[in-house]
Structure formats: C-alpha cells, structure tokens
C-alpha cells in the first residue's frame, strides 16, 4: 500500500484525530484505543489516497475488535485492507471519538448482500 504512517480524520464536531496506519495483515495491537477498519485506495494519477471507513469502534484491547464486532464474511468486510489506530486509555474519550467520527464519516460503503 502507500508509505504514509498517519492519517488525520475530522469528526463532525470539527475535532481532528491523528490515527496511525497499519495494513490488515499486520494485525491490531493489544492496547486500548479506537480502531477504524477501512478500504483505502488511490484516487487516481497523482490525486492521492482515499479512505472509506467500513467500521469504527473502540475497545480495551484493539486486537479483539475484528473477532468480536465484525462479521468477516460480509461482502463489505471483504474490502477491508487497512487499519487506522488511535490509542486511548479512557473509555469515555474513546466512545466520544467513535460517535464524532461516525457522524462525520457516514454513510459507509454499503454492498447489498
């Protein structure tokens, strides 16, 4: 994929959240935080990259999110190729971040089953 190490997402409130980027293959850390599973792809020649969120969630252990929150067999998750991570130890802050990002980044890509 691309070599960018961070991506800044804006929430509906105008707040900015700086996420680190990992490929799907690299897995998720065993740490508390916010996770965005996404389909990331080039926009076109020299136009940069586009991130399409498929799932935004939070957990005390980010490594458990795919198995506990996401149906890996859904057509939508077949597109998942990147993970965006925001470490955060406070559950209330994680929840507020997720709600803010969901309001700003909906609707997600929806593929009819």
Domains of the chain: 6-105 (3.40.1440)
Contact indicator for 82, 52 with CB cutoff of 8 Å: no
pLDDT on residue 108? 59
Sign of CA dihedral 52, 40, 74, 94: negative
- pLDDT over 60 at 112, yes or no: no
SS3 call for 57: strand
- pLDDT over 90 at 8, yes or no: yes
Q: How far is CA 93 from CA 21, 99, 100, in A?
A: 20, 10, 11
pLDDT on residue 60? 95
Q: What is the pLDDT of residues 33-89, one digit of tens each?
A: 999 999 888 877 677 888 888 889 999 999 988 766 677 777 777 888 999 999 999
pLDDT on residue 79? 85
Structure tokens that stand for 46 in this block: 């020299």
pLDDT on residue 86? 97
Q: H-helix or E-strand containing 52? A: strand 49-59
Closest CA to 53 of 39, 66, 67: 39
pLDDT on residue 96? 97
């Amino acid at each position: 994929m691309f070599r960018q190490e961070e991506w800044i997402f804006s929430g509906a409130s105008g707040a900015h959240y700086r996420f680190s980027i990992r490929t799907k293959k690299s897995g998720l850390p065993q740490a508390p935080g916010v996770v965005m599973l996404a389909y990331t792809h080039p926009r076109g020649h020299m136009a940069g990259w586009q991130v399409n969120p498929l799932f935004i969630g939070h957990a005390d252990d980010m490594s458990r999110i795919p198995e506990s929150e996401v149906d890996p067999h859904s057509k939508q998750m077949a597109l998942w190729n990147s993970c965006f991570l925001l470490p955060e130890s406070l559950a209330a802050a994680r929840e507020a971040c997720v709600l803010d990002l969901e309001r700003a980044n909906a609707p997600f890509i929806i593929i009819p089953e």
